[in-house]
Amino acid sequence: MAEQPSEGKPPAAPKPQPPAKPPAAMATTPWEDELVRDLREKFADQITEFSVYLGQKFLIARPEAVPAIIEYLKLEAGFDYLVDVTAVDYPERPERFELVYILYSFARNERIRIKTRIAEGVRPASVVRIHPTANWLEREVYDMFGIEFDGHPDLRRILLPEDWSGHPLRKDTSILDMDNRWVREHLGIESGQ
């Protein structure tokens, strides 16, 4: 999985890329505070980046460390509310999916994001046992991206029909050409367009 170093944040030499698709050149600043020191001490190289963008803090971690980080943040740092779990698809990257967990702490009134990158076919561990709210959120990520969560109690499609094929929010799924077979069989029309 991690044979390729995750793209270094300040890209050293701006090599010419064909189209400027996602050049990952977010103008971030480093995130430094007490919490970062604690996390560095606890998770060392499991977390590869601490950044701030537009005043919003996020960290990038290795996928296998994510549940432990979320659990640590919940129990030790007061991040007791999992706001959202979602994903972003970058098909041209070797680790094509970016999973995003948004956490909030009522005590600190602070919001942070945890991001991790996974390749196609990798099964990230579910965080349902830490935050029950992740149940439907992970189901939606599975439904829309086809990412299967390991240890999820009930991993089924949630918004689309069970016999739907494909995962709509993947970039290679065209909005004009989703599951025409399903549409023909169930609605009796040629396509949904």
Partner 1 sequence: MPDGTFLDATELVLNMGPQHPSTHGVLRVILKLDGEKVIGTECVIGYLHRGIEKIAENRTYAQFAPYVDRMDYVAAVSNGLGYCLAVEKLLGVEVPPRAQAVRVILTELNRIASHLIWLGTHALDVGAITPLFYCMREREEILNIFEKYCGARLTTHAFRIGGLQYETYDTFEEDVRAFCDMFLPRVDEYEELLTGNRIWIGRLRNVGILNAEDCKAYGVTGPLLRAAGVKWDLRKAQPYSGYEQYDFEIPTGTNGDSYDRYLVRIQEMRQSVRIIRQALDGLPGGPIMGKVPKVIKPPVGEVYVSIEAPKGELGYYIVSDGSTQPYRVRVRPPSFVNLQALDKMCRGALVADVVVVIGTIDIVLGEVDR
Binding positions for partner 1, rule: CB under 8 A: 20-27, 53-54, 56, 80-84, 86, 88-89, 100, 102, 106, 109, 111, 113, 131-133, 135-137, 144, 157-161, 168-169, 171, 173, 175
The rounded distance, in Å, linking the Cα atoms of 70 and 79 is: 8
C-beta closer to partner 1: residue 4 or 29 = 29
Smallest distance, partner 1 to C-beta of residue 3, A: 25
How many other C-beta atoms can be found within 10 angstroms of the C-beta atom of residue 127? 26
Question: Mapping DSSP to helix (H, G, I), strand (E, B) and coil, where does residue 154 land?
Answer: coil
Smallest distance, partner 1 to C-beta of residue 13, A: 18
Smallest distance, partner 1 to C-beta of residue 131, A: 7
Site of tokens 């089924």: 156
Q: How far lies 105's CA from each of 32, 110, 117, 158, in Å? A: 18, 5, 24, 28
Smallest distance, partner 1 to C-beta of residue 78, A: 11
C-beta closer to partner 1: residue 65 or 135 = 135
Half-sphere exposure of residue 128: CA atoms within 13 angstroms, side-chain side: 14
C-beta closer to partner 1: residue 151 or 161 = 161
C-beta closer to partner 1: residue 37 or 165 = 165
What is the DSSP code (8-state) at residue 149? P
C-beta closer to partner 1: residue 66 or 112 = 112
Contact 103, 82 (CB under 8 A): yes
In the β-sheet with 97-105, what is the strand arrangement from edge to edge?
29-30, 47-53, 56-61, 110-118, 97-105, 81-89
Smallest distance, partner 1 to C-beta of residue 188, A: 18
Torsion over CA: 106, 129, 71, 140 (sign): negative
